[in-house]
Amino acid sequence: MKASRLAYLGPEGTFAEEALSSVKTIDVNGLETCSPMRSVQAVISSIEAGTFDYGLVPIENSVDGEVMSTLDALVFATSRCLIREEVILPVSFTSLRRVGDTSPPRVAISHPAALGQCRSYIESRSLEERAVASTAEACRIVAGGSETGLVAIASSRSGLLHGLETAEERIEDFPGASTRFALLSRELSPLAGSENAGSDVKTFFVLTPPEDRTGILADMLKAFSDRGLGLASITSRPLRSALGTYCFLLEVRAGLGSTDLIAAMKELSSLGCAVKYLGTYAAFEGERVTTPFAAGPAGSLPPGDPASVDALASRVLTDRSGD
């Protein structure tokens, strides 16, 4: 049997590489190669072109929500890539310095997303920020330079790989954050034909309605709700083809072998929707990616009190209160 090749968002030491150890649908240790790639787009292109068999890319994290650049590439620039597994990795950041550099931290180096997620740490120490291409690149710069007072913000594992020592652990603003990765391939996943309709299997579709009219989305969703099919996520994305047109990225809680899902897709087709299938996979067991905030939206109107809308409409137009 032909040995398989996997590409992931590199360089070595990234959270993507760390997430490989949680992959279940393929034997990662039995792969011919596990190659770090320079960008998510490079990973996706390599699967699309068939130069690699599998690819691991981030698609969602607690703080930034869906990673739209990854999803856009899958939606608009591929016709063969499928998601065959989702993997969720708890993410924590560490500040790392060169061994022997005992001067107080002065400059924080990392990927902009990591810098943004460690804002309190950076501000409380009045650190200058330097943005670089990845957290692993930050470690490489700190390890290879002679400048003092530099700290890389990255995973502990990345620091270890570059011979750095820990300055401080768990420096993220929101403890408990996590990132969801998609394992891509050109083959259907073993679960693709699952007849399950429930919370343990998900199918990813992109639906493009035939027209932009009031209520088209509600009509589309009715195809699922009439059959008791739940959604795990939904996102609208504008299309450049015409102003005011959209496609919708949906994860439906059902396998592609579910007769209910097939019937729903037929109904959507009869409505004139264009359908793109992006894969069926098991819902990750354990950690979920949720917003980093411990409660729902602040200042929400209380349910069951329709009259409060009038009060709200007045208040948001005339708020003059102090704290």
Partner 1 sequence: MARDSRGSGGGGAGAIVLFPGPRGTSDERAISLLRTVEQPEAHPVPVIETVLATVGHTPDSLGLVPLENPLEGELAPVLDRIAFDTANVFIRETVVLVEQMEAFGLAPKPTARTVVSHPFVLALCAPFISRLGLASVTAASTADACRMVRSGGGEGLVAIAPQAVGESFGLVPATNRGLTLPEVRTRYALIGREVCAKTGDDLTLLVITPAADRSGSLETVLHSFSERSLDLTSLRSRPVVAGTTESHCFFIEVRGHVSDVPLREALSELLSQDARLRVLGAYPRWPGMAVMPPYAGLPAASVSRESDADLLAAALHPPAAALAGGERPARRAQARRGGSG
Binding to partner 1 (CB under 8 A) within 265-304 occurs at 265-266, 269-270, 272-277, 288-304
Residue from 186, 201, 281, 284 touching partner 1 (CB under 8 A): that is: 186
Residue from 4, 25, 35, 41 in contact with partner 1 (CB under 8 A): 41
Residue type, 177: A
Nearest distance, CB of residue 254 and partner 1, angstroms: 10
How many other C-beta atoms can be found within 10 angstroms of the C-beta atom of residue 49? 11
Identify the DSSP state of 272. T
How many whole angstroms from its chain centre is CA 269?
Answer: 28
Answer whether 255's CB lies under 8 Å from 196's CB. Answer: yes
Size of the site for partner 1 (CB under 8 A): 108
Q: How far apart are CA 96 and CA 164, in angstroms?
A: 6
Sign of the C-alpha dihedral computed for residues 193, 195, 198 and 203 taken in this order: positive
Nearer to partner 1, 33 or 290 (CB): 290
Q: Do 184 and 82 form a contact (C-beta atoms < 8 A)?
A: yes
User: For partner 1, which stretch binds (CB under 8 A), given 22-30, 147-155, 164-172, 184-192?
Assistant: 184-192
Residues 137-166 that bind partner 1 (CB under 8 A): none
The reply on whether position 309 binds partner 1 by CB under 8 A is yes
Q: Which token pair is 100?
A: 């022997």
Q: Would you count residue 229 as binding partner 1 (CB under 8 A)?
A: yes
Cα–Cα distance for residue pair 219/75, rounded to 1 Å = 22
The yes or no reply on residue 124 touching partner 1 (CB under 8 A) is no
Q: Should residue 238 be labelled a site residue for partner 1 when binding is judged by CB under 8 A?
A: yes
Nearest distance in Å: CB 134, partner 1: 9
Could you tell me how far CA 87 lies from the centroid of its own chain? 10
- Binders of partner 1 among 187-226, rule CB under 8 A? 187-188, 192-193, 206, 208, 210, 214-215, 217-218, 221-222, 224-225
Closest contact distance (angstroms) between CB of 167 and partner 1 is 21
Biggest CA pair distance of the chain = 72
* 107 scored as a contact of partner 1 (CB under 8 A): no
Task: List binders of partner 1 among 50-69 (CB under 8 A).
Answer: 63-66, 68-69
Question: Which residues neighbour 28 within 8 Å (Cβ) at sequence distance 6 or greater?
Answer: 6, 20, 21, 34
Among 149, 257, 283, 287, interactor with partner 1 by CB under 8 A: 257
